[in-house]
Structure 1
């Protein structure tokens, strides 16, 4: 038995599935997952199956009939999504209907929604009963999951990371922005989902390594060559330099390697847990 990773339509996350025979990368296949049979796309080469773990199963290559049926169900689910949005608005329910998806056999309809508070969904379920015989499952999703499912452009002008390649939502903190010397402007640090940008974590480890050789902000330092002393007011970790306000009132950009931290101040590499702001 082999393992091959597949991707579903509304998420970049790769799911390992068991298969008896390998399928070409980008092949459309029918898989048996937690919700039931669905169409997915093969995204990786087959590998020997590890001895442990629980996996879904690739049932076979998706036929033209499967793909036609999948497209038809997609259109039907889209119509039901807009129906639910209209009914929720008419009922004054504070809920956002994000997406609706059928399984390939049409037996299950999963409705993804978000709400700021707990709401009663019984009325919406009854609205659906008159339009589908499928079992109905409402699944609450958070802001980042919404951005993943709906897709949007990030501040960089490219598709947002959550819908393009992220496999997990790792914690992102304001400390990461401080370590990268970014202005603490919520509008510039927040993604389309309204949460801190996921990309803040991508280079954080690299910035921590660079900061080991840079005096912390407000440290008292002296320049060995000129003998000028002063206070560090700004860090440039990528350049390996800092801006020093000298005791004479001059602002100087100086390579961190040419600076000596005065006694009583932490030396570069010794302030890993000290604030950088």
Structure 2
């Protein structure tokens, strides 16, 4: 028994499947997944299974009859998707139907949709009864999953990462853009899904390493050779330089290795035990609140 990584059609994520034989890469196989039997593509060499691993199963190599059935189900699913979209517009349902997918035995049909708020979709089930006897499963997906299933082009001109190679959606924050000294323009930092670009995480760890050797923004520094002193206005982590503005308003671009950081004024001492604790506007005792 070996474990084969397989990929389904609408996602680049690899799923480990237990198989009795090592099918070659690129083979189409019938697998038993969570939803039922489906067609998948082998995307890697077989490995030994782990003792406590949880796997699906490769049932067999896909036959020509399996592939023909799969293509027919895809065509029917596409027709049903447009039918349901029309019915949703007639009922004025604020929902976007992204995909309709059958299992190979047509025992289950999964309808992936996105909506800004909770919505009742039971009225659409009756529209399906005249076209299939499969059980109906509505699956709500987010903007990133929607872009993954549909496939879009990113700002780089290539297909979006979520449709090509990303295995999981790692958390992305605006702090990553700040650390990389990127302009905080939502249009440039957002992907086709409307969320922050997944690629902001790729080089973030390297930027953190580079920033350790640079003074912080707004810190006061002096140039060792010329003696010019000023405030750091901009960082250039890749070049290892910073821009400083002197008290006279002159701007300099200098290597960070040639700068000497000035001692900052000591922080105020904490109140003694006899001093009554201060309260902020919310009445919280002894708590520092950002922006207050």
Compute the TM-score of the two structures, normalised by the length of structure 1: 0.94
Cα-to-partner distance string for 1:112-167 (whole Å, 9 max, x where unaligned)? 00111111111101111111111111100000000000000001110001111111
Radius of gyration: which is bigger?
Answer: 2
Match of 1:273 in 2: none
How far apart in 2 are the matches of 1:248 and 1:120? 65
Match of 1:220 in 2: 220
* 1:265–1:174 Cα change, 3 Å: farther
Match of 2:162 in 1: 162
How far apart in 1 are the matches of 2:225 and 2:129? 80
Cα-to-partner distance string for 1:1-53 (whole Å, 9 max, x where unaligned)? 21110000000000000011101111111100000000001111100001012
Match of 1:274 in 2: none
How far apart in 1 are the matches of 2:22 and 2:260? 60
Unpaired segments of 5 or more residues in structure 2? 267-292
Unpaired segments of 5 or more residues in structure 1? 267-277
Which residues in structure 2 correspond to 1:197-236 (within 5 Å)?
A: 197-236=197-236
Cα-to-partner distance string for 1:36-90 (whole Å, 9 max, x where unaligned)? 0000011111000010121100111111111111111001001101111000011
How far apart in 2 are the matches of 1:45 and 1:250? 61
Which residues in structure 2 correspond to 1:1-277 (within 5 Å)?
A: 1-264=1-264
Is the 1:219–1:265 Cα contact (8 Å) retained in structure 2?
A: no
Match of 2:285 in 1: none
How far apart in 2 are the matches of 1:256 and 1:129? 70
Is the 1:220–1:265 Cα contact (8 Å) retained in structure 2?
A: no
In the alignment of these two chains, the number of paired residues is 266
How far apart in 2 are the matches of 1:225 and 1:132? 80
How far apart in 1 are the matches of 2:168 and 2:91? 35
Is the 1:228–1:247 Cα contact (8 Å) retained in structure 2?
A: no
How far apart in 2 are the matches of 1:86 and 1:73? 20
Report 1 or 2 for greater relative contact order, CA contacts < 8 Å, sequence distance ≥ 6. Answer: 1
Q: How far does residue 249 in structure 1 lie from its aligned partner after superposition?
A: 2.1
SS at match of 2:168: coil
SS at match of 1:47: coil
How far apart in 1 are the matches of 2:201 and 2:56? 31
How far apart in 1 are the matches of 2:58 and 2:256? 56
How far apart in 2 are the matches of 1:172 and 1:123? 37
Cα-to-partner distance string for 1:196-225 (whole Å, 9 max, x where unaligned)? 111111111111011000111101001111
